[in-house]
Amino acid sequence: MRLKDYVKDKILFLCFYCALLLLLFCFLRITGYPADYALLFAGLMTFLVLLYGGIDFYRKKVYFDQLFLQLEQLDKPYLIGEVMEKSPLLTDRLYRRVLRISNRSVIETVHALEQEKQDYREYIESWIHEVKAPLTAVNLMCARKISEGGEEAAFFRKMLRETESMENAVEQALYYARSDEVYQDFLITPCCLNDIVSEAVTRNRRLLTACHITLQFDLPENCRIYCDGIWLVFILSQLIRNSAQYRREERGKITISAKEE
C-alpha cells in the first residue's frame, strides 16, 4: 500500500475539507476574529486532520501488508477469507464477510470437481482391469495357435502384436489416470536396473522382432538404483516402443547403457 494511492483514495474528502476550512475561515473573519486567530485555528485543524490521516494510513498499510504476506504463503489463495485477521473497521469486516461467503462457494465447487475427478479415475482403473482380462485371454489363444504351427501361425503372430499394442495403450491410460496423484502411487526402493531393463524388453520382444530391432546392453553387473521399479519399467517400455515404431530405416539398433555419476 503506497501513500500516493492512499491520498488518491481520500481526494474527495480532502477537497471537502479544504472547502469547509475556507468557509470556516471566512466565518471567523466576518464575526470579527483576527486573521492570525483564524489562521491559527485553521492550522490546528489541518494538523489534526493530517495526524489522523497518518495514523489511519499506517494502520491500513500494516494490515494490508500482513494480508498480502498471508496471501503469498497460502497454497490455496482462495482461502484468504478464512485466515485474514479481523479489523476494527466496519468496511473491512464487511469485505471479510463477502470474501468468506464467496470462498465457501469456491471451496464447494473445488470439492465437487475433486470428487468427480476421483470417481472418473476409479472408473478408468476399473475399466482398465476389466479390459485386461479378455486381452490376456486373446494373447493366450494366439500363443497356443502359434505353438501349434500351421499356415495360420503368421496371422496369429500379427494378431498377438496388435493385442500387445492394445495392452500398451491401456497401460498408458492407467498411468495417465494416476499421474495427477503420483505422490500416492510412487514408491522409491532399491531396485536392480538389469531386471528392470529385462522386463521392459520382454514386454516388447514381439514388436522388436517384427521391426528387426537389435539390442545392445552396456549395464554394470547387478547395478542397484533407487527408483520406483514399476514406473521405470513403464517409461523404458514407452521409449523402446517409440524407438521401434518411429525408426528411420527398416532395421535399427537400440543401445541401453548406464553409468554412475
Q: How is residue 190 annotated by DSSP?
A: E
All cell numbers assigned to 98: 463477502
pLDDT for 181 equals 66
- Least confident range from 53-57, 92-96, 114-118: namely 92-96
- Whether residue 229 has pLDDT greater than 80: yes
pLDDT for 226 equals 92
Average pLDDT over residues 135-145: 81
- Whether residue 197 has pLDDT greater than 90: yes
Mean pLDDT, the chain, as a whole number? 82
Q: Give the separation between CA 142 and CA 48, rounded to whole angstroms.
A: 94
pLDDT for 185 equals 67
* Beta carbons of 170 and 203 less than 8 angstroms apart: no
* Beta carbons of 138 and 163 less than 8 angstroms apart: yes
Would you say domain 186-261 falls under CATH 3.30.565.10? yes
Q: Reduced to 3 states, what is the DSSP secondary structure of residue 238?
A: helix
CB atoms within 10 A of CB 161: 17
The residue type of 203 is: R
- Angle at alpha carbon of residue 73, lines to 67 and 76, rounded to 5°: 95
User: 150: alpha, beta or left, given left = phi > 0 and alpha = psi -120 to 50?
Assistant: left
- Whether residue 174 has pLDDT greater than 80: no
pLDDT for 184 equals 63
Give residue limits of the domains in the chain: 3-110, 186-261
Look at residues 136, 95, 231, 226 and name the one whose alpha carbon lies nearest to residue 174: 231
| pLDDT cut 70: percent of the chain above it | 95
Report how far apart, in Å, the C-alpha atoms of 2 and of each of 7, 8, 13, 61 are: 9, 10, 18, 8
pLDDT for 180 equals 67
Look at residues 215, 204, 208 and name the one whose alpha carbon lies nearest to residue 238: 204
- Whether residue 207 has pLDDT greater than 80: yes
pLDDT for 183 equals 61
Average pLDDT over residues 239-257: 88
Question: What pTM value is reported for the model?
Answer: 0.48
Q: Give the separation between CA 6 and CA 25, rounded to whole angstroms.
A: 27
pLDDT for 43 equals 84
Q: Give the separation between CA 233 and CA 229, rounded to whole angstroms.
A: 6
* Beta carbons of 163 and 189 less than 8 angstroms apart: no
Residue indicated by cell numbers 547395478: 223
Higher-pLDDT residue of 238, 145: 238
pLDDT for 256 equals 92
Q: 255: pLDDT confidence band, cut at 50, 70 and 90? A: very high
pLDDT for 8 equals 80
Average pLDDT over residues 194-204: 90
All cell numbers assigned to 252: 535399427
- The predicted-structure confidence for 64-107, as pLDDT tens digits, reads as follows 787 788 777 777 776 676 667 777 777 777 877 887 888 788 78
φ/ψ of 250, rounded to 5, equals -65, -35
